[in-house]
Amino acid sequence: MGALGKVMKKALGDMGFNRGGGIINWFPGHMATATRAIRDRLKLADLVIEVRDARIPLSSVNEDLQPVLSSKRRVIALNKKDLANPNIMQKWIQCFDSHKQDCLSINAHSKTSVKKEKIKRATVGPLPGVTQDIAGYKIAHQPSIYVLDTPGILVPSIPDIETGLKLALTGAVKDSVVGEERLAQYLLAVLNSRGTPLHWRNLNNRRLEGLRAEFKETKEKTLRDLLPKRRKLPTESDIWHIEDLVTQVQCALYITFAEFEGNLEDESDLESLIEEQFVALQKAMKIPHKASDEARIMVAKKFLTLFRMGKLGPFTLDDVPDSHNPVA
């Protein structure tokens, strides 16, 4: 594999598998309503906590609201820190600090990261559109302090394809808007361009220690997406099933990547590698041969679920800009 040092100069979002896909936009009616309401409520706010995705600190910015937000006292909260690369996330925080912008990393599902009472009152979920209305909570009496919880909102028009793919990959845009296969192809392009599969060569010897604690933090509904359809709750053997699946997936991607003789800088070579990896993933996931599109969609759905659960490792998709470029 002689092409690791060279990666695509062309934006991954402009690769061939995106041809015909077009610009990615998802702006349902509740977002339009919420945007107008947020603009109005911001006039009353003394402090704004702007929640961004720690995996995409720049792509998850709502540019339409930035002029208003930047005029307020603001803290940027990078949520889902458990799914982001901790080293790169720290560089992002330092980048915000260099622009005199307060920033912290959080995990909204962790009781140690966010005050328990806020977790009970404000509903959060892995899918976009869980919160659709602005809700107010009184959290202190002397002095009276109120928190306004707003829905996550996108801009009416996402500026470029790759930003749209990142938003969809992290769950901010529904998969059906983009297509699971297209998303999985983009994810494979990202992993390959970074040489990530090479880091998995020594990850086959897994241990149960630590998995039980991790399992308790994992949503049962998400786990069921990877397990055979059943009604009973996931068991310890189910944890091993998922861990074995992760190992098989990592091995499949490592082998195909290590045996790749092409040039990662060449679009057609990279697309050929991705096609080989789709075939390898189908075997690793033991998905039977079906109508071509059906099997590929099943592969894509399971692969995306593993990524979003953090089973493939912590990732930050946005590169840290140089000190001259704005980040907020």
Indicate the pairing of strand 144-149 with strand 135-141: antiparallel
User: What is the distance in angstroms between the CA of the first residue and the CA of the last residue of the chain?
Assistant: 39
- For residues 217 and 219, what is the distance between their CA atoms, to the nearest angstrom? 7
Binding-site residues from annotation for GTP = 79-82, 152
Host H or E run for residue 275: helix 267-284
Which residues have C-beta within 8 Å of that of residue 133, sequence separation ≥ 6? Answer: 30, 34, 151
Residue 93 φ then ψ, to 5°: -60, -40
Query: Which of 65, 224, 63 is closest to 157 using CA atoms?
Result: 63
Host H or E run for residue 140: strand 135-141
Identify the burial level of 317 via C-beta atoms within 10 angstroms of its C-beta, where 0-12 means exposed, 13-18 middle and 19 or more buried.
buried
| Residues in the chain, total | 328
Binding-site residues from annotation = 79-82, 152
SS3 244: helix
Identify the burial level of 189 via C-beta atoms within 10 angstroms of its C-beta, where 0-12 means exposed, 13-18 middle and 19 or more buried.
buried
User: Helix axis angle, 180-193 relative to 236-258, nearest 10°?
Assistant: 60
Contact 44, 229 (CB under 8 A): no
- For residues 207 and 214, what is the distance between their CA atoms, to the nearest angstrom? 12
Q: Which residues pair with 78 in a beta bridge?
A: 52, 105
